[in-house]
Amino acid sequence: MSFPLLTATAVLPALGAVATAAVPAARRTAAKWLALIASLATLALAIAVVVRFDPDGARYQLTESHAWISAFGVRYELGVDGIGVALVALTALLIPFVILAGWHDADPLETGSRRWRPTQGFFALILAVEAMVIISFEATDVFLFYIFFEAMLIPLYFLIGGFGDRAHEHGEETASTQRSYAAVKFLLYNLAGGLIMLAAVIGLYVVAGNFSLTEIAQARANGSLHMATSTERWLFLGFFFAFAVKAPLWPLHTWLPNAMGEATAPVAVLITAVVDKVGTFAMLRFCLQLFPEASKWATPVILVLALISILYGALLAVGQRDIKRLVAYASISHFGFIIMGIFAMTSQGQSGATLYMVNHGISTAALLLVAGFLISRRGSRLIADYGGVQKVAPVLAGTFLIGGLATLSLPGLAPFVSEFLVLVGTFTRHPAIGIIATFGIVLAALYTLVLYQRTMTGPVKPEVSAMPDLRVRELVVVAPLIVLLIFLGVYPKPVADIVNPAVKQTMSDVHQTDPKPEVEAAK
């Protein structure tokens, strides 16, 4: 029997979470190192998945299938296509940086009296989220996917509510209240989406008789499984609603700014660069593959909602006073681009959307983690509390600038390629949507450059005059992300070669071909 590589990639961080949680409270440093080692070992397994995956081979590879709940047709089925491989690799890559960046985020606090926060619990929860996200990218059984799609909410709830950002202008008591509010809002929004999806999952079982994605998709393709038009549309809406909350798509987005604002910077990276990708990934894997006709039926409305997300998120980012909330609204705008690319129903749009998931994860991680280092030095998230930082901490300012330029999709940095493909792919089929969406680029330049100008340039404020530059641990976190942004901006072919065959198969699922160019190429 071949080694169950996909299972191992998900189980290893789960075992790491259990082992880290079991470390005695007095051995906090040991818990940190154990979590970091577990995340690096998971990254090694993810690299093995990438190496063993053949982009030109079968659609789902490294498959595993075992009986689980036979009475209801539920199986433990795993398999990855090119899109899943790219996102498993992204998740495994970012978690070690999240752990290193949050090295001191759960250290003991003193507020009048000694209060202890369970350091080992913080890192165990991060590893638990990693395990659940990875198996979500691997699951080809709809019920198995649903379980972990929902289960990941539990550790995230405690990470937001129990280990929130210490930088708050209104004191610890108000900060604790706002963290609790953000955690509850995050949980309620996502649980509501999950409950609606559960009804759709049950409906799918009633219609199909099993939960296997591959079997249902094959039966739909060969005509042995027929869904009434109204049934398919209702099931599609149940799945899509849950994924749109997770993504998040306007108007289901309002939990994200609160969650990212109140969480620590590493946990905010975990939310927007890792967990939220499960929503957009699931749109490609489940919505388009299981409900192709309903996906085409809903496309006009979804494109309008995505366009609103792009412009609305960017406009609100321009007016933010809080650094992390600004990045949160910018992410809402970026997820609008991703969803627009998915439902443009062109190969360029879907390839761009998949690349965007990877590139957005790297660029947002770089910007947010540097912002977290900045906030930890000053003790404030407010933009107005900074000024002249580049004169006292030039390396910090330089990395912050590169992260910001990647966020606005500057040519030469990774997000530019994906955003360009999304816009081209959208324009070829929906020119009006593509043209209006380009205003999101202009607004991105505005909020990014204004943020840099207000925090990094100008006179040095007395409060930042003694601010230290990036330390060795922080450089180890940021430098690889900057290198990746530049490398994938200049040479995106390694990722594109993995995802493009999967995109072609997804286009085949929805029976779509790219529009023919209006002007023939010169011979």
pLDDT of residue 110: 53
From the list 23, 8, 27, 45, the residue with the least C-alpha distance to 124 is 23
From the list 327, 321, 319, 472, the residue with the least C-alpha distance to 404 is 327
Share of the chain above pLDDT 90, in %: 54
From the list 95, 464, 27, the residue with the least C-alpha distance to 275 is 95
pLDDT of residue 167: 58
From the list 495, 239, 506, 236, the residue with the least C-alpha distance to 346 is 506
- pLDDT-derived band at 114, boundaries 50, 70, 90: very low
C-alpha 30, offset from chain centre: 29
Q: What is the mean pLDDT of residues 208-219?
A: 84
pLDDT tops 90 at residue 48: yes
Nearest-10 Cα torsion for 241, 243, 248, 254: 50
Tell me the C-alpha distance between 480 and 463, whole Å.
Answer: 30
Tell me the C-alpha distance between 391 and 387, whole Å.
Answer: 9
Tell me the C-alpha distance between 335 and 315, whole Å.
Answer: 14
Q: What is the pLDDT of residues 430-471, one digit of tens each?
A: 899 999 999 999 999 999 999 999 988 888 888 888 888 889
Of the two residues 178 and 390, the one the predictor is more confident about is: 390
- pLDDT-derived band at 113, boundaries 50, 70, 90: very low
Report which listed range, 202-216, 372-386, 397-411, is most confident. 397-411
Sign of CA dihedral 90, 91, 93, 97: positive
pLDDT of residue 378: 85
Average pLDDT of the chain, as a whole number:
88
Q: Read off the tokens for 168.
A: 């708050």
- 3-state SS assignment for residue 268: helix
Place of tokens 């957009």: 280
Tell me the C-alpha distance between 76 and 373, whole Å.
Answer: 41
Strand partners, 299: none
- pLDDT-derived band at 25, boundaries 50, 70, 90: confident
Q: What is the mean pLDDT of residues 175-201?
A: 87
- pLDDT-derived band at 170, boundaries 50, 70, 90: low
Q: What is the pLDDT of residues 473-483, one digit of tens each?
A: 999 999 999 99
pLDDT of residue 512: 75
Q: What is the pLDDT of residues 292-317, one digit of tens each?
A: 899 999 999 999 999 999 999 999 99
pLDDT of residue 115: 46
The least confident of 4-8, 101-105, 177-181, 274-278 is 177-181
pLDDT tops 50 at residue 112: no
pLDDT of residue 117: 59
pLDDT tops 70 at residue 165: no
pLDDT tops 70 at residue 212: yes
Tell me the C-alpha distance between 153 and 282, whole Å.
Answer: 16
pLDDT of residue 1: 46
pLDDT of residue 102: 87
Q: What is the pLDDT of residues 81-95, one digit of tens each?
A: 999 999 999 999 999
pLDDT tops 60 at residue 135: yes
Tell me the C-alpha distance between 131 and 8, whole Å.
Answer: 10
Share of the chain above pLDDT 70, in %: 94
- Provide the b/e sequence for 241-270 (b: ≥16 CB within 10 Å): bbbbbbbbbbebbebbbbbbbbbbbbbbbb
Tell me the C-alpha distance between 18 and 7, whole Å.
Answer: 16
pLDDT of residue 109: 62
Of the two residues 4 and 219, the one the predictor is more confident about is: 4
Q: Tell me if 20 sits within 8 A of 31, measured CB to CB.
A: yes
Instruction: Determine if the peptide bond prior to 248 is cis (ω within 30°).
Output: yes
Burial class for 516, CB neighbours closer than 10 Å (0-12, 13-18, 19+): exposed
Q: What is the pLDDT of residues 62-84, one digit of tens each?
A: 888 888 888 777 889 999 999 99
pLDDT of residue 171: 54
Tell me the C-alpha distance between 476 and 483, whole Å.
Answer: 11
Instruction: Determine if the peptide bond prior to 515 is cis (ω within 30°).
Output: no
Tell me the C-alpha distance between 302 and 342, whole Å.
Answer: 10
- pLDDT-derived band at 129, boundaries 50, 70, 90: very high
Q: What is the pLDDT of residues 313-364, one digit of tens each?
A: 999 999 888 888 999 999 999 999 999 999 998 989 999 999 999 999 999 9
- State the DSSP code for 25: T
Helices (H) and strands (E) in the chain, counts: 23, 4
- Provide the b/e sequence for 461-480 (b: ≥16 CB within 10 Å): beebeebebbeeebeebbee
Tell me the C-alpha distance between 60 and 324, whole Å.
Answer: 38
Q: What is the mean pLDDT of residues 482-504?
A: 92
